[in-house]
Structure 1
């Protein structure tokens, strides 16, 4: 993934699960503030996390169940430590975003964000394009569903990659609002 796309991914809303740690029965447990679900911290080993320390969020990687590697030090976790764990994208959406041409990618993400959705709100993605890698004439429709907690958004991505590059995105909200964008090259 190139640097500009990485920055867009990094700055999406709802890209982290935020919560508190508790040490229970010799195990670190992460309690998600939003969903109130509990998860074993060991399930997130070697993932990007942020630790709230000295009144700010500090980026690092969970290297042990009780330790986060920050840029220049190791941070020992304690009971009631506030942390954020980077969410993973739906795999098929991640592959689709990597395969989109730069202009189509930017238009898609900007439009999604303008409708108060994040790429991390994706709950389903059918990436038909991934089945056409070996074909010279690639055309079809990818389908995605996003849920921001208040509204559902269905997206159809009609694509045609052969003599010309054509990307058309149709966004339909559960409120009835519709937006269509098209990129021809």
Structure 2
């Protein structure tokens, strides 16, 4: 699995975007979050990925100036009540963890999480013990992750041992009591 395939898995995650509308009020662009109905200054999202819904499809670009989105080589002006979605950021320690595990473990973890109706963007807590072991020859320990999809909570323990063999074990426990364990070993 290459970087592009990993990014594809990021792109298809549920709840990867905050959706809403934009409106220009007193010469300032305001973003209205559809879910929470909160208003924020659009300037807070400068230089971030944003998608604008035009001609019945999402057009991906970057907010490079207040009210202006660069889509490819074109500069597009936002209009009042445009439907937009802004890519959410992952919890930093989760992002580092996903970058640090091998492709097979990454794929198994993300697809299993998705099968339980959770997204990597539902992460509300991640303790990445692996990031503290970067200088060690033998790396073993446990990472703790908590996900909340607004309907259920999922706790994940990632047991890892990277020495002569690579072993990743993920234990998923939902608040309903459902448990699932997956293990990936590479010699």
- Name the TM-score, length of structure 1 as normaliser: 0.97
Alignment of 1:80-99 (within 5 A): 80-99=81-100
Structure 2 unaligned segments of length 5 or more: list them.
none
Question: Which aligned runs of 4 or more in structure 1 are off by greater than 4 angstroms?
Answer: none
Alignment of 1:20-169 (within 5 A): 20-169=21-170
Partner of 2:177: 176
2:57 & 2:3 partners in 1: Cα distance?
Answer: 28
The CA RMSD over aligned residues, in Å, is 1.0
SS in 2 for 1:104: helix
Cα deviation digits, residues 65-88 of structure 1 (max 9, x gap) = 110011242111121111000001
Partner of 1:2: 3
2:106 & 2:36 partners in 1: Cα distance?
Answer: 30
Paired residue total: 185
Structure 1 unaligned segments of length 5 or more: list them.
none
Cα deviation digits, residues 122-174 of structure 1 (max 9, x gap) = 11100000000000110000010101110010000000001111100000011
2:176 & 2:66 partners in 1: Cα distance?
Answer: 43
Q: Structure 1 residue 24: deviation in Å?
A: 2.1
Q: Structure 1 residue 98: deviation in Å?
A: 0.3
Q: Structure 1 residue 17: deviation in Å?
A: 0.4
- Name the TM-score, length of structure 2 as normaliser: 0.96
